[in-house]
Amino acid sequence: MVLEMEYKAVDFFKECCDSCYLIDIQGNKEAVIKGMASYDSGGADDLVVIPKRSVFEKYKKSNFAAVIIPKALAKFADQLSINTAIFISAAIELSHALIKQKLADHDYSNSGWENIHSSAVIHETVKIPISTTVGPGTVIEKGVIIGENCRIMANVVIEHNAVIGNNVQIHPGTIIGWECEIGDDCFILSNTVIGGEGFGFSQDQHFNHHRIPQTGNVVISKNVTIGALNTIDRGTYGPTSISDGTIIDNMCHIAHNVQIGQNCIILSGFLCAGSCTIGDRVVASGGTMLKDHVNICDDVYLMHRAGVIKDIKKPGMYAGSPTLPIKNYVKSNAIYSRLDEMRQKIRELSGHKPLSNNG
């Protein structure tokens, strides 16, 4: 990817060493960096990340402008091209993330439209800061508050009295429901619905369904990423809330009154029924499902399509459905695979004839 400006390696190191976990520079300090690319597509003008020894061995003879390598590979740095600048990282994945944010992130303001597209429908009570852009077909209802440096893309709907913080990116087709709140530095991908009606009904004696109006909201805190095609329902009275730093993959559903803590990782296919409470730093792998009114403590890992039907009160790894601590889950799977063999053995010990394969 071509950068907007060129960097001399030594200048780049001085500017980024502290913020990007770079601890040393070796090799050609005068090398000029003009782009950033993957190690399998980079050229002589590019900065690339070499994350591990196997990749290093494959690409060490390549003529890159600069490479970033983990400190564990620093002792092999002299095997790289003499034309290449070599940055040593104390945390290679963090360096990769932070440097690419700085050098090669996509500029979502570069749409080609004016700051506020002429087809956008914006209520007269809404003030759009000069630094914020609004794309074609967007609808912003009365009383909405929008912060600085936001990117509100095509066909977004923001309903009345919602609050959008600073540096928020809302991708095409997303709906932000009435009175919902989005904190600073959030990233919301396409076709997500935040603040839809929670699924609350009561049944009469004939099993007719009577809607319980959902009059709470959704509160998204700071630095939260919400993937594409997610649905986060508003609370019945109070908020459904997602705390600082949590990241949510695509195609997840979070029901009404759910509370999710800080710095969680929620992967694709996550389904969470209403009124659950999830602690800080919880990791839910793909396909995880939570029954309603379940509480999960801090520092829990949910693995292998975990099905949570009761509270988890101790940190650790849990797997399967219903969930088991990971050691018990591994043992159970091992036993399950041998059930037929064990059944045959029991029959033999009991004096019965062995069963046929289809018996």
Contact indicator for 259, 222 with CB cutoff of 8 Å = no
Scan for tokens 């991708």, then name that residue: 171
Block residue for tokens 């500017």: 15
Any residues with CB less than 8 A from the CB of 354 and at least 6 apart, and which? 344, 347, 348
Under a CB-based contact definition with an 8 Å cutoff, are residues 159 and 178 in contact? Answer: yes
**Tokens representing residue 192 in the block:** 């997500």
- Closest by Cα among 276, 238, 235 to 256: 235
Residue type, 87: F
Question: Pairing mode, if any, of strands 253-254 and 271-272?
Answer: parallel
Of 271, 221, 269, 279, residue with least CA distance to 249: 269
The dihedral over CA atoms of 112, 115, 118, 121, expressed in degrees to the nearest 10, equals 130
Q: Which are the contacts of 27, defined by CB distance < 8 A and separation ≥ 6?
A: 77, 80, 81, 82, 84, 85, 86
Block residue for tokens 């990117």: 151
Residue with tokens 């890992």: 301
Candidates 24, 23, 28; CA nearest to 85 is: 28
C-alpha–C-alpha distance, residues 289 and 235, integer Å: 19
Calculate the CA 34 to chain-centre distance. Answer: 29
Active-site residue set: 256
Strand ranges in 50-172 using DSSP code E only, listed in sequence order: 66-70, 85-89, 121-122, 133-134, 139-140, 145-146, 151-152, 157-158, 163-164, 169-170
